[in-house]
Structure 1
Amino acid sequence: MAESLLPFVEVSPAGEADACVIWMHGLGDSGHGFAPIVPELKLPQSMNVHFVFPHAPERPVTINGGMRMRAWYDIKSLDFNSRADAEGVRQSAAQVERLIDAQIAKGISSERIVLAGFSQGGVIALHLAARLDRKLAGVMALSTYLSEPDKLSEEAIATNKSTPILMAHGEQDEVVPVFLGQAAYKIFADNGFNAEWRTYHMQHNVCLQELRDISAFLQTVLA
């Protein structure tokens, strides 16, 4: 039996969709968290972009005393190299890959799909950006870091090396320190990916200027 898709919130365009953004939330949030951002992006109506905001599965999170919450993977420690539970990352990446395939089955080319993620969701977006064998339109990794940074060079494939990757971070981020985002950017750039690094005067959140830059990025890669 085929595995069921992750549940999600969707924001559909007025016309028939010809592009899709799949956007993963952060720890303890849900797909509802980022859905209200869509009108704030002020994308031209003619773009007909369908937004999908999946809900991460609920699981116990070690650093939060084993409390169950929506999480793309467990966080066992705050150490840079082992912060993300690698097996959980791979399981969630496989579930998001099924969402990508579901959009392709609806007639949207993978090259019209943007993968986006904030914090934990960004970890999944970056994991797939390096390993997905379908060409994407773009990737947005916001206030995030890299799972298993030491494995990227041996596991990365070339499919999305030319795909624009926007990596953005708050300079005052107290949850995911900015150096973790910078380290992830450097690893991607050193491995030949088309990554761009931006910082903002903010904490672990999204600000107005970042929203404007996200809108411009989407209008460029989905033009």
Structure 2
Amino acid sequence: MKGGLSNVWFDRFKISNDCPEHLESIDRMCQVLTELIDDEVKNGIQKSRILVGGFSMGGCMALHLAYRNHRDVAGVFALSSFLNKESAVYKDLQQSDGTLPELFQCHGTADDLVLHSWGKETNSNLKSLGVSTVFHSFPTLYHELNRTELERLKSWILTKLPGEIDGQNK
């Protein structure tokens, strides 16, 4: 934002995959989001029926939340998102074993804010660490969403959480 303040999920030193993560702000937001998950569980939602995800920085936040703190959620989606090359997520996954939530990831090839190659590299790194992944590239898509992407996400969600409420899976 060229030095201007903005509302974001966490602090970044810069928009690049080749710099340190601002872990203090990421961990602070993970605590806030953990409280939301805990509230849902207290209200009767099984954690195995909770998906976390987001667009851009929200997708990065979901990757941290799920793979560092909540490996028992139903799945993760990250749209136009990436992890830094030396991400704490990778370090945590190197020391883990057990089942990990599936990742659904999409990225536009024309994205000039969050490069497609960063998203693809993130996906490859997570896959090498045991995450089952799905990655969709969208030619000519910039840092934005499109209908096809959202339809694929919807289909993926319905396979992860089938039969939630009869008649409402349309």
Q: What TM-score, normalized by structure 2, do the two folds share?
A: 0.85
Report if the CA contact (8 A) 1:125-1:139 is conserved: yes
**What SS does the aligned partner of 2:5 have?**
strand
- The equivalent of 1:185 in structure 2 is 123
**Identical amino acids, percent of aligned pairs:** 26
**Deviation readout 1:2-34 (Å, 9 max, x if unpaired):** xxxxxxxxxxxxxxxxxxxxxxxxxxxxxxxxx
The one of 46, 68, 74 equivalent to 1:109 is 46
CA RMSD in angstroms comes to 1.8
Distance 2:102 2:24 in 1: 27
Report if the CA contact (8 A) 2:55-2:79 is conserved: yes
Q: What TM-score, normalized by structure 1, do the two folds share?
A: 0.66
Distance 1:134 1:110 in 2: 10
CA 1:140 to 1:197, structure 2 compared with 1: closer, same or farther past 3 Å? same
Q: Across the two proteins, how many residue pairs are aligned to each other?
A: 159
1:199 corresponds to 2:137? yes
More off after superposition, 145-154 vs 115-124: 145-154
- Quick one: which amino acid aligns to residue 82 of structure 1? C
Report if the CA contact (8 A) 2:78-2:105 is conserved: yes
1:78 corresponds to 2:6? no
Q: Which runs of 5+ in 2 are unaligned?
A: 163-170
Report if the CA contact (8 A) 1:117-1:141 is conserved: yes
More off after superposition, 91-100 vs 176-185: 91-100
Distance 2:68 2:34 in 1: 11
**What SS does the aligned partner of 2:106 have?**
strand
| Structure 1 residue 158, shift from structure 2 partner | 3.8
Distance 1:113 1:125 in 2: 12
- The equivalent of 2:107 in structure 1 is 169
Q: Which runs of 5+ in 1 are unaligned?
A: 1-63
From the two aligned structures, give the one with the greater strand fraction.
Answer: 1
- Quick one: which amino acid aligns to residue 47 of structure 2? S
From the two aligned structures, give the one with the greater helix fraction.
Answer: 2
**What SS does the aligned partner of 1:127 have?**
helix
CA 1:153 to 1:79, structure 2 compared with 1: closer, same or farther past 3 Å? closer
- Quick one: which amino acid aligns to residue 175 of structure 1? L
**Deviation readout 1:150-200 (Å, 9 max, x if unpaired):** 543431234552x22101101110110001101100110000111111111
| Structure 1 residue 148, shift from structure 2 partner | 5.6
CA 1:75 to 1:183, structure 2 compared with 1: closer, same or farther past 3 Å? same
